Amino acid sequence: MKCTILNVVLVGVAMVLICSPTDAMDTVEMDEEVSDTSLIVKIIGHGAPVLPVGFTTSAIVCADVVMILDISCSISRPAKQRVRNIAAAVAQSLLTLINPEDPSSFSQARVGVLTYSEDTRHVLYLNHTKPSKQAVKIIKNVKIVKNKETLCRTATHRALRDVRNYFFNTRQQNNKQVIHLYTDGLTFLRRNRKALYREQKKLKDMGVIINVIAVPQRIGKFEEEEYTTLPHTQQHLYNSTEPNIANQLIDGLINDASCEDIAKTS
């Protein structure tokens, strides 16, 4: 289908095209047929759509959030693209968040990113000085294929260890420390699971809140224990295939790391 572009709006990491169907010269290809001849709102971009058009929140988050993306071969490319979109949408919301009741307010959140398969790749540290727009762009375009010289393995224990040693070694005053772990829950080699749970306990003892976002494995395999043991609570276990997953993650951050609530207990 083709349509004349009436407006272009950036929502999260996707582009929303508001248009009316036509065969005019100023057109854009759409990837599915729409029979309605009225205005069409279509979200396009890398991977599957993540968010409804626009979302707001009435709280500001005070958190250091590290997004850990599993890019191992056991996850399909479309699933990795979706995860990347979710992470970028959440980051954009966190880094540009203001309280609608207080226009002078601003977000206290910091965002870091790490990807991993057999090895880890440090994409963005929490103490980076990049503008919000540039940081979101980096996440939106983060490489989602492993290095050629590494094996197709899921080493979640190494990812958690690196976050503990290289990301949470600096802390913004009063900020909660939070992990968003996107994984198919299948750490390679059973012996590495002991190391995985040791790292989880060390992070928990530090007060880190671990959220696990379950990503579909190519052939449906997963280790259930990883989904039941790693999250802070079972309320911190999410499913990446949920259509409103980015909103759910933001709501979870507001619940765990609202600046207002932290101020009351400081």
Tokens of 249: 């993650």
Q: Which helix (H) or strand (E) holds 123?
A: strand 120-124
Residue 214 has pLDDT above 70, yes or no: yes
Residues 146-197: tens digit of each pLDDT: 777 666 778 899 999 999 999 998 778 789 999 999 998 767 656 678 889 9
pLDDT at 250: 92
Q: Which whole-number Å values give the CA distances from 216 to 75, 139, 233, 238, in the listed order?
A: 7, 21, 20, 12
CA angle 209, 147, 193 (to 5 degrees): 40
Q: Which whole-number Å values give the CA distances from 91 to 24, 42, 178, 217, in the listed order?
A: 37, 22, 13, 24
Q: What is the mean pLDDT of residues 130-139?
A: 93
Q: CA 193, CA 157: separation in Å to the nearest integer?
A: 7
Residues 19-36: tens digit of each pLDDT: 433 333 333 333 333 233
Share above pLDDT 70 across residues of the chain, in percent, rounded to a whole number: 68
Segments making up each domain of the chain, as ranges? 2-44, 63-265
Q: Please provide the CATH number assigned to the domain covering 63-265.
A: 3.40.50.410
Average pLDDT value over all residues in the chain: 76
More confident site: 74 or 189: 74
More confident site: 109 or 191: 109
pLDDT at 99: 59
pLDDT at 67: 98
CA-CA-CA-CA dihedral for 31, 37, 41, 46, to nearest 10: 10
Other Cβ atoms less than 10 A from the Cβ of 240: the count is 21
Q: CA 95, CA 110: separation in Å to the nearest integer?
A: 7
pLDDT at 245: 95
Other Cβ atoms less than 10 A from the Cβ of 192: the count is 15
Tokens of 194: 């002991």
pLDDT-derived band at 105, boundaries 50, 70, 90: low
pLDDT at 11: 37
pLDDT at 222: 58
